[in-house]
Amino acid sequence: MTKRIVVLPGDGIGTEVTTEARQLLVEIAALLGVQWELDEGLIGGGAYDQTGSPLPEETVAKCLEADAVLLGAVGGPQWDNLPGDVRPEAGLLGIRKRLNVFANLRPIRTWPGLMLASPLKPELLEGVDMIIVRELTGGLYFGQPKARVEGGRAVVDTLYYTRGEIERVVRRAFTLAQARRKKLTSVDKANVLESSRMWREVVNELSVEYPDVVVDHVLVDNAAMQLVTRPNSFDVIVTENMFGDILSDEAAILTGSIGMLPSASIGGDGPGLYEPVHGSAPDIAGQGVANPLATFLSVAMMLRHSLGYPEAADAIEASVLAVIEQGVRTRDLAGSGQAWVGTKEMSQLVRAD
C-alpha cells in the first residue's frame, strides 16, 4: 500500500533541511522498492503571509489524510510582533493538537567524536542512549482553570489528568522499553503532588502487563541531577508534560548540538508528526550551512514508528554514525579550526553511504 507523507517545510532553515530530507525519502523508497505519495503544505510565518493563517485548513486536511507528517521549523523575527493566535508558533501548537499526538518522543544519544562539543566530561557521556517520552497534550499546560483570579491578586494553573490520558502515554513508553533495553524510568513528584501519585499508580498497574520491563520511579528533582551525573543509566523515561519539557531540554545538551536532535510526536489514530528539535535559525537561514542530520534522524523515526520500515530507520542512523565517524562536520559540529561542509554536501554524503 502506498504511504502518504506530507512535508511541511515552514520557515528559515526549515525549508533547507526538509528539501534534503525529501530527497532522502525519495531515495529510500527506491531502495525499498516502494512508492510514497509525497505532498507539501504551508505552515508558520510563510503560511501567514500567503493566507493570513499560520495553519491553513488545507494543510490540516492534508495532514489528517496522511500516514506521517515531516515538519521543518517555523518562526522568524519578521513575525515576532503578530498577535499570539496568528504567530508562526500557533501553527505548530495547532497541528500537534489537531493530530492529537499525545506522546512526544525525544531520543538523546551521544555520538563518538562529537562528545567534545558537550559541556560535560566525555567519560560521563560514554554510551548515553535514552529516549524521553513526554506527555504532550495534557497536564499543567492545558488544565483548566488557568487564570488570574481575585481581581488579579492571585493566579491559578491546573495540573489535570484523566487516568486514560496517563495510561495511553505510559503504555507507549512500556512498548518502547520492550523494544530497547527494557528499562523504564517514570519521573514524577509523588511526594507532593496528587497527580503524580495517580501517575505512579497507573505505571505500577500497567507494569504487570510488561513483566520483562524493569520499572523505576524517580522524583523529578532527583532525575534532573541524575541526567547530568549518570546519564548513561537511563533507557526510556516517561513523564508528564511540564517535567518532560524541562528534562528534555536539559538532556539535549548531552548531545553537543541541537542540529543532531530529532523528535517524534505520536498518538492514537492519526499520523505521527516528525520534526527536528531546533527552530528556524534565522541567523543562518539562506546560507546553506544548516545541519540536516536532526531532520534525517526524524525521517528515521518516521520510518520506524509510522511507516513500518524499522530496518530502513536503522540504516539511516548507521549512515549518520558512519559519516560522523569519518570526521565530516557541518559548521555547528566543527571545532575551531576544523573543516566543515554545507547542508547539501552533508546530505549527499549521508545519502551516498
- CB of 191: closest distance to ligand NAI in angstroms? 33
Q: Is 86 in the site for ligand NAI (CB under 6 A)?
A: no
Tell me if 188 contacts Mg ion by CB under 5 A: no
d(CA 115, CA 123): 9
Binding partner of residue 138 among Mg ion, ligand NAI, none, CB under 5 to 8 Å per kind? none
Residues 315, 320, 323, 325: is their CA dihedral positive or negative?
negative
Question: Is 245 one of the catalytic residues?
Answer: yes
Question: Among 64, 258, 321, 349, which residue interacts with ligand NAI (rule: CB under 6 A)?
Answer: 258
Rg, Å, the chain Cα set: 20
101 touching ligand NAI, by CB under 6 A: no
194: cell is 496528587
Q: What is the distance between the alpha carbons of residues 13 and 9, in angstroms, rounded to a whole number? A: 9
Active-site annotation holder among 3, 245, 274, 332 = 245
Contact flag: residue 245 with Mg ion (CB under 5 A): yes
Q: Is 3 a catalytic residue?
A: no
Q: How far is the CB of 253 from Mg ion (least distance, A)?
A: 13
189 is annotated as an active-site residue = yes
| Binding to ligand NAI, residues 20-79 (CB under 6 A) | 73-76
Judged by beta carbon distances under 5 to 8 A according to partner kind, the member of ligand NAI, Mg ion, none in contact with residue 74 is ligand NAI
Picked from ligand NAI, Mg ion, none, the partner binding residue 332 (CB below 5 to 8 A depending on kind) is ligand NAI
Alpha-helical runs (H) found in the chain: 13-32, 45-51, 57-64, 88-98, 122-125, 163-178, 194-207, 220-229, 241-255, 293-305, 310-325, 343-352
Question: Using N-to-C axis directions, what is the helix angle for 293-305 and 343-352, rounded to 10°?
Answer: 40
Q: Which of 269, 345, 279 is nearest to 306 (CA)?
A: 269
Could you tell me how many residues of this chain bind ligand NAI (CB under 6 A)? 21
Question: Of these, 253, 284, 334, 349, which contacts ligand NAI (CB under 6 A)?
Answer: 284
Task: Return d(Cα 97, Cα 241) in angstroms, integer.
Answer: 14
Among Mg ion, ligand NAI, none, partner that 282 touches (CB below 5 to 8 angstroms by kind)? ligand NAI
Name the phi and psi angles at 228, rounded to 5. Answer: -105, -15
Tell me if 45 sits within 8 A of 81, measured CB to CB: no
**Which residues are catalytically annotated?**
141, 189, 221, 245, 249
Contact residues for ligand NAI (CB under 6 A)?
Answer: 13, 73-76, 89, 92, 258-259, 275, 278-284, 290-291, 294, 332
